[in-house]
Amino acid sequence: MYRIFALTIIICMACNSGVKRKQQAASGYVLSYLKEEVNPLFQNREIQAARRKLDSILPVIKKRDDYVEMCSWLRCMAVVYELEKKLDSARLYVDQALALAIEKDTTERQILAGNIQTAAVLSECRSLDSALRYAREAYSLAKRIDTPGLPFICMKLYDIYEKIGDLPMQKKYLFEGFNLSTSPKYKTVFATNISAYYERVNQVDSALIFFQALMRDSSFSNPYYDAVRYESLGTLLSKKGFLEEGLRYQLKGMQISRALDELNAQSYLNVAATYRKLGQYKVDEHLLDTALRLVSHEKNWALEKKIWKAKAENLMLQQQPGKAYAALDSAFVYYQKEVDSSMIGQARDLEAKYSLLEKDNQIKSLALSNQLSERTREGQRRTIVRIICGTAILGLLIVWMWRRKQFKRNIREESLRQQLLRGQIDSHFLYSSVSGLQQLIKKGNTEDATEFVRRLARLFRLSLENARQAFVPLKNELDALASYLTLQQSLYEDQFDYEIRVEGVSDQEAVLIPPMLLQPFAENAILHGFAGQKEKGQITIRIQMDHKALYCVIEDNGRGFQGMEDQDQKRPLSTIINQERLEILGRQTRTPAQLKIIDKKATGAGAGVRVELRLPYQQEA
C-alpha cells in the first residue's frame, strides 16, 4: 500500500506543478526535463539512470542560478536517496531545498513542496511527531495558496496517522483527499487506501466494494499499482470466503511483484492464510517459513509476531501442539521486541524533535544574515523605482500638455463649424421668407407685406444677436422662435395656431443652448405638414428639464410623412444640418444629444409629426 503512496509523492515532488507562470517561463526547460525525463525513471525505480540525468543537468542549473530550478533538483536528489533507503542523505538534500526556498521564495510554493518532502523523509525515518509537524504546515499553506497539491498532502497525513495508529484521522484525510482528487490515477490511490482502512476496522464488505470498483477502472496501469490491487482484492475475497477466486488474484499479484523483485513478507503471509483456509497446510507452512526469512531483514517486529501466530495456528491444525506452543512463545518474544522498539522509537522521536528545533534555528540564523544584503538590494530597487516613476510622471505631463493643446484646437474647429452651420440655416430661412414676401406682393396685399417686413426685420435682429454666440439664453431663443411663428401666421393667413410651454426651468436666462435649433422643426411643420390641409393646423412646443439636458417636443397635426410625395421632402436640409449640430453639441458638452422624428399616424397617435429632442445645455457662470 505504501508503494503506491511513495510513487504518488515522487510525481508531486518532481513535477513541481505549483510554480507560477512567470517562473515557468524562466525555468521551463529544466522543469520540463525533470518532469519528462527524470520522473518516469522514479516511477519505474530506475534509480541509477535518474541519478545520471540529474548529475548531467546540475552544471546548467548552477550557471542559470535560478532558485526554482535548484530547489526542484535538490528535491529530486532527495527522492534518489529515499528510494535507495539512504534516509540521512535524503534528509540532507531536502533540508537544503527547504532552506533555499525559505530564503528566496516569495510565492511560498517552493516552501510548500519542501515541507511535503521533509515530512515524507521524516516519516520514513519513523520520526512521526516531526513528520506530522511538517505535513500539517504544508496542509495549512496549501489551503491558503489554493494549490492542486492538496490531495498529496492528505495522503502524507494519512500515512503518518496510519503509523501512529489514529484511525479517525486516517479516515478524515483519506476521504478528503479522495474528494479533492480530479485525476483517475490519484483517486485509485485513495480508493486503495480507503479499502485497506475498511479492512482494518473489520468492514470488509465496504473494502470489497471499493476494490471491485477499482479493478474496473482501466484509466491507469502501472505494475506496482496492479500488484497491490490484485493482492489486496484477493485477500479481501479470501476473508469473505471466496477462497479460490481470492487465491487467483493473490497469486497474480505475487507474480507481478516477483518480476519486479518486490515480494515482501506481508504478501507471503496473506497468501499463506488463504492456503490454510483451503486446508493445504504444507503449502501454508512453506509460505510462512519464507515470510519469516524475509521479515528478518525488514526488522518489522509486529509483522514477525503475526507470522509466528499464523505458524502456531498452522501447527495446531496439523495436530502438532508442542510445536504450536513453541511458535506462540516466539510470537510473545517478538511482541516484547515490538514494545521495546516502540519505546526506542519514542526516544528517537524526542531526539529528532530537538534536532529539528536546532535545524530551524540554523535556518533562522541564515535568514537573518541575509537580511543585510537584502536591505542593500531593497535600496537599489527603490532608487530604480524612483527613476522610473519620475520618468513616467514627466512623460504623462508631456502627453497631458499635448492632449490639452489638441483639445483646444478641436474646440475651436467645432466652434467655427457651428457658426458655418448656423449660417446655412439662416440662409435657408431667408430664402423661405423672401419667397413668402413675393407671394404677398404678387397678391397686391401691401399692408400685410409692410407688416411682414417689419416683423421680419425684428426677427433678423434677434437672429443676428443670437448668431454672434455659440450659446444663447433659452429665453432669447424662445423669443426668436415666437417671432418667427407669428411671422409665419401672418404669411399663411392664420392657417395654424402655436403654443410654447416651458416646465421646470426656473431661470431661462441662465440656461444656455445653441441658437436656431428649434426653429427649423417648426418651419418643417408649416411648410410640409400643413401644406394643402383644409383643417387648421396646431403646433405645440413643450420644453422641460431632464437632468443635464432639456427635453423638447415639437408636435403638429399635419399630414405627417405619408402625405409627402417623395423621399427628398422626408428629410429636409434643415433637419440634416440640425442632426449634425446635435452630434457636435454632444461632443462639446460630453452629454448625449438625441433626435427622434416620429410619424404619429404610423404609431396610431393621430395625424402629424412629433419631434423629440434631448438637448444638452450649459449653465451661465
Rounded Cα gap, residues 534 and 563, in angstroms: 13
pLDDT (mean) for 448-471: 77
pLDDT exceeds cutoff 80 at 215: no
Residue 24: its pLDDT value, please? 42
Residue 417: its pLDDT value, please? 55
Kindly indicate the confidence band of residue 39, based on its pLDDT and cuts at 50, 70 and 90: confident
Rounded Cα gap, residues 95 and 101, in angstroms: 10
Question: How many CA atoms does the CB half-sphere of 332 hold within 13 Å?
Answer: 6
pLDDT exceeds cutoff 60 at 26: no
- Look at residue 515 and give its three-state secondary structure: coil
β-sheet bridge partners, residue 473? 512
Rounded Cα gap, residues 263 and 583, in angstroms: 87
Choice between 36 and 374, residue whose per-residue pLDDT is larger:
36
Residue 300: its pLDDT value, please? 63
DSSP state, 69? Answer: H
pLDDT in tens, 531-547: 777 888 999 999 998 88
Alpha-helix residue ranges (DSSP H) falling in 468-492: 474-491
Complete domains list, the chain, with CATH: 1-148 (1.25.40.10), 410-619 (3.30.565.10)
pLDDT in tens, 406-455: 767 666 655 655 555 555 445 656 676 777 778 778 878 787 778 778 87
CB-CB contact of 270 with 231 (8 Å):
yes
**Which uninterrupted H or E stretch holds 511?**
strand 511-513
> Is the sign of the CA dihedral 470, 489, 596, 619 positive or negative?
positive
pLDDT (mean) for 174-194: 77
Q: How many residues does the chain have?
A: 621
* Residue 358 in grid coordinates: 536546532
Lowest mean pLDDT: which of 168-172, 223-227, 295-299, 383-387?
295-299
Rounded Cα gap, residues 320 and 501, in angstroms: 122
Residue 432: its pLDDT value, please? 66
Rounded Cα gap, residues 614 and 549, in angstroms: 6
pLDDT in tens, 502-518: 998 888 888 888 888 88
Q: What percent of the chain has pLDDT over 90?
A: 6
Residue 543: its pLDDT value, please? 94
pLDDT exceeds cutoff 50 at 25: no
Q: Which of 615, 617, 509, 505 is nearest to 554 (CA)?
A: 615
pLDDT exceeds cutoff 70 at 223: yes
Which of the given ranges, 7-16, 506-515, 560-569, has the highest pLDDT on average?
Answer: 506-515
pLDDT exceeds cutoff 50 at 7: no
pLDDT exceeds cutoff 90 at 205: no
Average pLDDT of the chain to the nearest whole number = 77
* Residue 289 in grid coordinates: 517459513
Helix 21-33 to helix 67-83 angle (10° resolution) is: 40
pLDDT in tens, 49-90: 888 989 998 998 888 888 888 998 999 999 888 888 888 888
Rounded Cα gap, residues 547 and 561, in angstroms: 31
Say which amino acid occupies 577: I
Which of the given ranges, 181-185, 581-585, 587-591, 597-601, has the highest pLDDT on average?
Answer: 597-601
pLDDT exceeds cutoff 90 at 554: yes
Residue 45: its pLDDT value, please? 77
Rounded Cα gap, residues 373 and 165, in angstroms: 47
CB-CB contact of 168 with 24 (8 Å):
no
- Look at residue 140 and give its three-state secondary structure: helix
Whole-model pTM: value is: 0.42
Kindly indicate the confidence band of residue 610, based on its pLDDT and cuts at 50, 70 and 90: very high
pLDDT exceeds cutoff 50 at 17: no
pLDDT in tens, 324-349: 667 666 655 555 544 444 434 443 45
Residue 429: its pLDDT value, please? 61
pLDDT (mean) for 135-156: 82
- Look at residue 125 and give its three-state secondary structure: coil
pLDDT (mean) for 221-235: 75
pLDDT in tens, 264-318: 888 888 888 889 889 898 888 888 888 888 877 655 666 777 888 887 888 888 8
Q: Which of 265, 263, 270, 268 is nearest to 246 (CA)?
A: 270
Lowest mean pLDDT: which of 11-20, 176-185, 457-466, 600-609?
11-20
Kindly indicate the confidence band of residue 11, based on its pLDDT and cuts at 50, 70 and 90: very low
- Give the burial string for 494-509 (b: 16+ CB within 10 Å, else e): ebbebebebeeeeeee
pLDDT exceeds cutoff 70 at 397: yes
Choice between 51 and 184, residue whose per-residue pLDDT is larger:
51
Residue 343: its pLDDT value, please? 37
pLDDT (mean) for 465-483: 83
Residue 575: its pLDDT value, please? 76
Residue 555: its pLDDT value, please? 92
